[in-house]
Structure 1
Amino acid sequence: MKIGLMGGTFDPVHIGHLIAAQSVYEELELDEVWFMPTSMPPHKEQAPGASPEQRWQMVCLAVEDHPAFKPSDVELRKGGISYSIETVLMLRSRYPEHEFYYIIGADMVQYLPKWYRIDELIKHVTFVGLRRPGYETGCDALPAPIRKAVRLASMPQIELSSTGIRQRRAEGRSVRYMVPDRVNDYIEVNRLYEA
């Protein structure tokens, strides 16, 4: 099976994440896309606004209607800082027959040489960089072995971020239509991200 991996804090998960996953799912003809909320990402200083359990619940709600989108709590159960190489090696040992495609934003492609144990990581996964208008992937400047492990896929331009959604909530503004309806309901019921 060809499996797309989508990691992130998902604080909260929003329609941009789902559109990105759908774009790669179709373009690369994947069998499934697994959404993996991180416990603590290595590159973010600030703690997420929602608890790991709340972020997990929102991801489950966001993907429950899509037959090929699956929530995965592999990084949440591990706890601590989430390094992609550790997650991918764990998944490879559990599912040796699967091919894994790690989905990242166009802005992250140029930073791949700085990823922890990247030389090992590229042996186990293909990176899929999402092309967005106005963003240079920097793919051509990557060292050859890393460049060979990167495929580019396109997605519609969606100007949405979890940071912006949290900010809107803090200002008392609606995030309806920016997140799936069930996620919006969950955020409102649990009064997440309010000032």
Structure 2
Amino acid sequence: MKIGLYFGSFNPIHIGHLVIANHIAEHSDLDQVWFVVTPHNPFKKKSSLLDNYQRLEMVYRATKDYTKLKPSDIEFNLPQPSYTVNTLAHLQEKYPDYEFALIMGEDNLKSFHKWKNYEIIIKNHHLYVYPRISGGNVETQFHTHQKVHFIDAPIMEISSTFIRNSIKNGKNVKPLLPEFVWEYLDEMNFYK
């Protein structure tokens, strides 16, 4: 089985995440896409993050009707901050029969050479890259790499930050969120 790993804080998960993940699951050779909820990204401030399990709950609610999309809490019990290379090693050990690939935006590909042990990652795993408007088609050393696959997914410029700020300012963001996620956020009064 070939699994695409879509890492993120998903704070909150929104329709942009779902559109991209579902497109890749349906239009590539991946069998499933796992949303890996990251406990704490070394590049993000921790203060604005909802609790790990609240974000996992939102991903669970968002993906429950999609057979090829799954939530994953694999990083919750790994040492912090969690680095992708360590998570991949852990997953490979736990699921030796699965093949794991990374899903990332074009903007992340540009900074991929700064990731911890990126050489090991690209040697052992394929990268599925989706377009971003902000990506701006800048050629990187990875653009022609045999393990890098560009996916012609819809460009979704929706950000979780925009959604959080809009909720805080009393704006209606319901169309940007899966229905079950919107209900959970509303019920829990998150981001207000």
TM score, norm. by length of structure 2 = 0.93
Contact 1:39/1:79 (<8 A) preserved: no
Find the counterpart in structure 1 of residue 141 from structure 2: 142
Residue 179 in structure 1 maps to residue 177 in structure 2:
yes
Equivalent residue letter for 2:126: T
Q: Secondary structure at the residue paired with 2:36?
A: strand
Structure-1 separation of matches of 2:117 and 2:140: 19
Structure-2 separation of matches of 1:182 and 1:165: 15
Structure-2 separation of matches of 1:79 and 1:61: 26
Number of residue equivalences: 192
Instruction: For residues 87-130 of structure 1, give each alpha carbon's deviation from its aligned partner in whole angstroms, at most 9, with x where no partner exists.
Output: 00011111222221211111111111111111111122111110
Contact 2:131/2:155 (<8 A) preserved: no
Contact 1:132/1:154 (<8 A) preserved: no
Structure-2 separation of matches of 1:174 and 1:183: 14
Q: Secondary structure at the residue paired with 2:176?
A: coil
Instruction: For residues 62-102 of structure 1, give each alpha carbon's deviation from its aligned partner in whole angstroms, at most 9, with x where no partner exists.
Output: 10000111111101232521200000001111122222121
Equivalent residue letter for 1:74: I
Q: Which runs of 5+ in 1 are unaligned?
A: none
Residues 90 and 25 of structure 1, relative CA distance in 2, 3 Å threshold: same
TM score, norm. by length of structure 1 = 0.91
Find the counterpart in structure 2 of residue 47 from structure 1: 47
Contact 2:62/2:181 (<8 A) preserved: yes
Find the counterpart in structure 2 of residue 118 from structure 1: 118
Structure-2 separation of matches of 1:141 and 1:156: 21
Equivalent residue letter for 1:32: Q
- The Cα shift of 1:45 comes to 2.7
Find the counterpart in structure 2 of residue 87 from structure 1: 87
Instruction: For residues 125-149 of structure 1, give each alpha carbon's deviation from its aligned partner in whole angstroms, at most 9, with x where no partner exists.
Output: 11111024563343x43168x8333
